[in-house]
Amino acid sequence: MKKSSYNNNCVFCQIAAKQLPAKIVFEDEDLFAFYDIKPKADIHVLIIPKKHIATLASLESSDAGLMGKLLYRVRLLAKDLGITEGFKLVLNNGLKAGQLVPHLHFHILAGSNYTDISKI
Ligand code: 5GP
Ligand code: ZN
């Protein structure tokens, strides 16, 4: 990961850099996945690009490959996590849509105890 893509004030950048603890599910050069600290379903995993991208709305065309890689990883992680009966993939874009952490992330939610999607 390029140093310039790290944001000192970002909790998810700090998690991806292992400066804050998290229950890690997957990591490679570009991506990081970890369990949500306040799960809103039986399985609740967050997947992020290591690069600090604040919101989906701030994506640049050069991020397209990274986002494709991220989505394909979701498909592989769902299998690795033993999710056989479907899952939700949620992205809140912007504060008004409920994005409290301004580092792009998808919520992978599975199992039977889903919180109302509007509260994720
Ligand atoms: P958002 O509301 O931004 O779409 O989702 C942020 C998610 O990050 C929430 O589900 C919240 O529980 C989770 N979260 C916030 N801080 C931390 C943290 O320090 N560690 C972990 N593992 N999850 C966090
Ligand atoms: Zn960040």
- Supply the pTM of this predicted model: 0.96
Q: Which three-class secondary structure state does DSSP give residue 26?
A: strand
Report CA(5)–ligand 2 centroid distance (Å).
8
- 82 close to ligand 1 (CB < 6 Angstrom): no
Cα 87 to Cα 64: distance, rounded to the nearest angstrom: 23
Q: What is the pLDDT of residue 116?
A: 78
Predicted confidence at residue 99, as pLDDT, reads 97
| Residue-by-residue pLDDT tens, the chain, 120 positions | 554 689 999 999 999 999 999 999 999 999 999 999 999 999 999 999 999 999 999 999 999 999 999 999 999 999 999 999 999 999 999 999 999 999 999 999 999 877 777 788
For residue 1, the model assigns a pLDDT of: 52
**Catalytic entry in 44, 103, 105, 107:** 105
Ligand 1 pocket, residue 36 CB under 6 Å = yes
* 103 is an active site residue: no
Q: What is the pLDDT of residue 117?
A: 76
3-class secondary-structure state, position 76: helix
> Was domain 3-119 assigned CATH 3.30.428.10?
yes
Confirm if 59 and 67 have CB atoms less than 8 A apart. yes
